Amino acid sequence: MGSEKVELDNQSNLSYRHRNTIIIASLILIIAFMMLPQFISNYLATVMIFLFTYVILAESYDIFSGYSGYYNLGHGSFFGLGAYAFAVFSGGLRGGYTPVIEPGFPIYISIPLAILISVLFAIGLSVPFFRLRGAYFSVATFGLVLLLFYLANNLRPISGGPEGLHLLKDGDFTVFDAYYLLFPVVVLSVIINYWVSKSKLGLALISIREDEDVAIEYGINSYRAKTKALIISAALASYAGCGFAYGLYIINPTGIFGLEMAFAPIVMTIFGGAGSFIGPILGVSILTIIQESLWTQFAYFHLFTYGILLLVVGLLAPGGIVRLRWIRKLFKPPA
């Protein structure tokens, strides 16, 4: 009995030390990223903006779809809606000359307003869309991206039409401002994903993913759990849209609601491993490096590469690369 207690205490101490090691390593990594802009060029800072945007999108997509099993192919609609709402509220210019709203709101007002619109949009969608399941839900949500794409193309007084909107910038604006705008929410999205995985909400979503009818019979409010997750997912994706628009200062329907932006976070999450806060980070990091390497050599060839990599992962690691044995050992306490 005494030896068993000693063994349990040793395992607890090892787990505690392992957790502390991960926390310390994470803090060092965060500090390194905060200092990184002092040593990189504008081009690399722009690449990091894309990387941060994809991480937030992948983590927010995973919060809803990864745990609930509902594949939301319209996740990009929250991103695009946030980007356009931010551009409109901050006084974006139609055709580069005429502001939509004059005077525009400052950034600390425009971002919350944009997020609020996306959250209300998510709540409105939850009523009809959560009546659907499986492929019907996925196809219906994908239609949202197409709907908003055509609206952005045709509502010229608000969206600027196919030419899009130009954001006004202060004279001392640099791309590094957008870097620091996005990075804290990258960290926040990872923390929220981890929190969901350990919370009652995450347990409810996982139960829904395994068998929704049984979960309902055991007292889980399926609609409420899915709506909470969708709201969190929409808010984070909307913020990513705000930061992305702020960093690029020019947005248009093709760039914001295009298929590449709509599918990239989904592909990256599945590649890295859905239902795990580490999976989206791995997927985004690997595929962004591949994308940047191929883009300069073969335009659009990276889209073909996405398909090949997904096929390989589907055959060799159906749960994503995060569930490969040697990857799991990195985050598993020593025996």
Domain boundaries, the chain: 44-260
d(CA 223, CA 207): 13
- Print pLDDT tens along the chain (335 aa): 445 444 434 444 445 565 777 788 888 988 998 998 888 888 888 889 999 999 999 999 999 999 998 999 999 999 999 999 999 998 888 876 778 888 888 889 999 999 999 999 999 999 899 988 888 998 999 999 999 999 999 988 888 888 889 887 665 667 888 899 999 999 999 999 999 989 999 999 999 999 999 999 988 999 999 999 999 999 999 999 999 999 888 899 988 998 878 888 888 888 888 888 888 888 888 888 877 776 666 656 666 776 777 777 777 777 777 777 756 665 554 44
Residues 6+ apart with CB under 8 A from 114: 81, 82, 83, 85, 86, 89, 238, 241, 242
Q: What is the DSSP letter of 72?
A: -
Q: What is the gyration radius of the CA atoms in the chain, in angstroms?
A: 21
Widest CA span of the chain, in angstroms?
A: 79
Q: What is the DSSP letter of 155?
A: -
Which tokens sit at 72?
């939301």
Sheet holding 165-166, edge to edge: 98-99, 93-94, 165-166, 250-251
Contact 278, 154 (CB under 8 A): no
For helices 42-61 and 259-272, give the axis angle rounded to 10 degrees. 70
For helices 222-248 and 75-89, give the axis angle rounded to 10 degrees. 50
Q: Where are the alpha helices (DSSP H) in the chain?
A: 2-35, 42-61, 67-68, 75-89, 107-129, 134-154, 156-159, 175-198, 200-217, 222-248, 253-257, 259-272, 278-295, 301-316, 325-331
Query: pTM of the prediction?
Result: 0.89
Please name the residue that has the structure tokens 């803090």.
Answer: 27
